[in-house]
Structure 1
Amino acid sequence: MANPEDTPKGQHFLLSPECRTLTVLDLAKMRDATAYDWFKRLRWPETEGKPYCPKCGTVRCHTMSRSRFKCTEKTCKAVFSVTSGTVFHARKLSFKKMLIAIWFSVNSVKGKAALQLSREIGVQYKTAWVLLMKLREAIAWRREEMVLDGQVEIDGKYAGGHIRPENKAEESHRPSPQEIPEHEASVRPRDPPARAGRPDEDGDAAWAAVRDHVSREATVFADEHGSYNDLAGLNKLQRVNHSKAYQTDDGTNTNQVESFFSRVQRAYVGIHHRFSLKYFDWYVAEFAWREDCRQVSNRGHTFQVLGKALSRPTSRYLCGYWQGNKPPDLIWEG
């Protein structure tokens, strides 16, 4: 993993050689056996890639055909592979193609569209869409144990949605943010990591987000929205009234979280064009991860996402998605 301190003084990290340590040419020359070895090392990092039984934990496993392993314990005899029980369960793509797909996803600054990925790696749109969503779900899991400290900003954003204008100008009106259906709230510190992914900007949701994911010693910065009034009972709270100024005379502002929301908006407009409210949480979780890892090389990004995907269980929302296994309307309540 690249060290930002090695970047020449005055040069942006994204312009430095340390940022681009893995290229598509490197992956194109890679054999599938090498990609398979990367999968094994990140699935079983404790044993440096040596497989162990997911049921009993023994390392005494016999290698079978088609990259499968069999536990030799008499009371177990489990048969498994490097992707068994992970988000890649029941895969059909080769290891090299999955690795290239992950690289294309993480190497895109504002996210990767499934239609574009399907063209780049030569698969159906459905295959690319489910693969990308499985990666986003795996990334989103990192927030469950996240606790933010220091100076933390909280704000809400209305994104997406569209009200078709009437033919005549006098019959049309500009919709207010409350009329646009897709909505996300976020809490983030002024230094990484960021946590995004609350479905509402109401008082209960904001209070629960700060209670569960912000240290009691942290200072919370918020705007004048009434949803944040009760946060004063949890943490030290500083407010800025955006109807009067972007920041107060003493420097109180929520500029960092607003900057993050601008990235979400640009991804919505320029990359995805739209995404459903049902999956909005996962998309924003991916954007937050990109924000946190902006000083990591693309090789490090690839390893991080592959490792997260191999450490998460099979998705109960996306495994068999196109066969009718649909997630609930509010996946963050699952």
Structure 2
Amino acid sequence: MERSGQHFLLSPKVRDLTVTELSRIQERTAYKWFRQARWPETDGEAYCPHCGNLRCYEMTRSRFKCSAKECGSVFTVTSGTAFAWRKLPFKKMLFAIWFVANSVKGKAALQLSRELGVQYKTAWVLLMKLRETVASRRDEMVLDGEVEIDGKYAGGHVRPENRAEDRVDRRLKENRSPDRLCILAIRQRGVSGRTFTRVIREEDGDAAWAAVRDHVSRNAKVFADEHGSYNDVVGLNRMGRVNHSEAYSSEDGTNTNVVESFFSRIQRAYVGIHHRFSTRYLDWYAADIAWREDMRRTSNGGLTRSLLGQALKRPTSRSLCGYWQGNKPPDLIWEGSAAA
């Protein structure tokens, strides 16, 4: 019996799909998982992704053909999704999704390649496709109620000189690495609160104003520290400010502890899992960690099914499909074009 007040990660509810149970399933069962996640409306029965025709018949090698004369499309369960042109067996892909979902602070490609017995390139692209998938949920995200906003710098470590007299103050802008970027985060308070992230070059007012304008309801109250980047947000929403040079929480209870706890997860992922974040893909890493933070009270089986369903609803990535053949995503750093 679960004790009152017990942490969710210590409860039996969190582990409703173990690796032992997953290892017992056959390839055909894993294939059914994919069909169920791709076509939940028809309980796994295929329908044409091009014309919507419900009358499709199964061909060899798990392919389907639309029976409509004007269409006649041939497709598979992964056609037009994030897993298009897959080569891995369905069971191995399901294992990969489970390993990713079950990792609280993220998954490293080198570790996944060892666990699955695949090349590093295969594991890396698969992880990036899943990160791009969860990052897409931010497009329509609008936070309400009480939200907190703050920025955290990540990456671009500058190694200190050996001799003390040769060292510089790495906090100064002129002594920072150009690879050091800021993760702007807006987090909604509450158990079901969501987290919006955006990677910017440095913490500034234009980026904060544009993020609040597009992703925070006008009825919400925004809490921030005394950094000057958040001064203009007053013109959009009601605000509460806390001066961190004096206290982490003011006498009336104003604080930004919720968004700071998210930043602690980013720090643990950086130090303990990845050891470094790629500047080009930092935006997807931050979005992936935000998704894990928001889904922290979901069981590992629920996370696996959710991630599988999202990936099968995500269109084929034009940035990652053919990545090792030279196809690369655009710059993911927000440069202010949306603030116009």
- Partner of 1:80 in structure 2? 75
Distance 2:172 2:38 in 1: 44
| Equivalent residues of 2:199, 2:282 under 8 A apart | no
Within 5 A, what are the aligned runs for 1:1-334? 7-176=2-171, 178=173, 179-180=176-177, 181-191=180-190, 192-199=193-200, 200-330=202-332
| Equivalent residues of 2:181, 2:199 under 8 A apart | no
Q: CA deviation at 1:46?
A: 1.0
Distance 1:42 1:67 in 2: 16
- Partner of 1:3 in structure 2? none
Task: Report the residue type matching 2:157 in the other structure.
Answer: H
Q: CA deviation at 1:7?
A: 4.7
When normalised by structure 2's length, the TM-score is 0.94
The answer to which of 163-172 and 281-290 deviates more is 163-172
Q: CA deviation at 1:330?
A: 2.5
Gaps of 5+ in 1: 1-5
| Equivalent residues of 1:158, 1:177 under 8 A apart | no
Task: Report the residue type matching 2:166 in the other structure.
Answer: E
Task: Report the residue type matching 1:254 in the other structure.
Answer: T
Distance 2:229 2:114 in 1: 44
Distance 1:177 1:45 in 2: 53
Distance 1:250 1:177, change over 3 A: farther
Task: Report the residue type matching 1:328 in the other structure.
Answer: P
Distance 1:174 1:271 in 2: 28
Distance 2:105 2:319 in 1: 24
Distance 2:59 2:2 in 1: 46
Distance 1:271 1:24 in 2: 20
| Equivalent residues of 1:44, 1:50 under 8 A apart | yes
Gaps of 5+ in 2: none
| Equivalent residues of 2:242, 2:248 under 8 A apart | yes
| Equivalent residues of 2:97, 2:308 under 8 A apart | yes
Q: CA deviation at 1:332?
A: 5.8
Task: Report the residue type matching 1:277 in the other structure.
Answer: T
| Equivalent residues of 1:7, 1:13 under 8 A apart | no
Task: Report the residue type matching 2:187 in the other structure.
Answer: R
| Equivalent residues of 1:198, 1:205 under 8 A apart | no
When normalised by structure 1's length, the TM-score is 0.95
Q: CA deviation at 1:10?
A: 2.6
CA RMSD of aligned residues (A): 1.5
Distance 1:40 1:332, change over 3 A: farther
Q: CA deviation at 1:244?
A: 1.8
| Equivalent residues of 1:157, 1:185 under 8 A apart | yes
Task: Report the residue type matching 2:4 in the other structure.
Answer: K
Q: Percent identity?
A: 67
Distance 2:244 2:162 in 1: 34
Distance 2:170 2:27 in 1: 52
Task: Report the residue type matching 1:68 in the other structure.
Answer: R
Distance 1:332 1:107 in 2: 30
Task: Report the residue type matching 1:125 in the other structure.
Answer: Y
Distance 1:297 1:76 in 2: 41
Task: Report the residue type matching 1:184 in the other structure.
Answer: I
Distance 1:298 1:288 in 2: 16
CA deviations over 1:136-174 (Å, ceiling 9, x no partner): 100011111111111100000001211122232210124
Q: CA deviation at 1:331?
A: 6.0
| Equivalent residues of 1:152, 1:190 under 8 A apart | yes
Q: CA deviation at 1:27?
A: 1.1
| Equivalent residues of 1:198, 1:209 under 8 A apart | no
Count of residues in correspondence between the two structures: 329
Q: CA deviation at 1:198?
A: 3.9
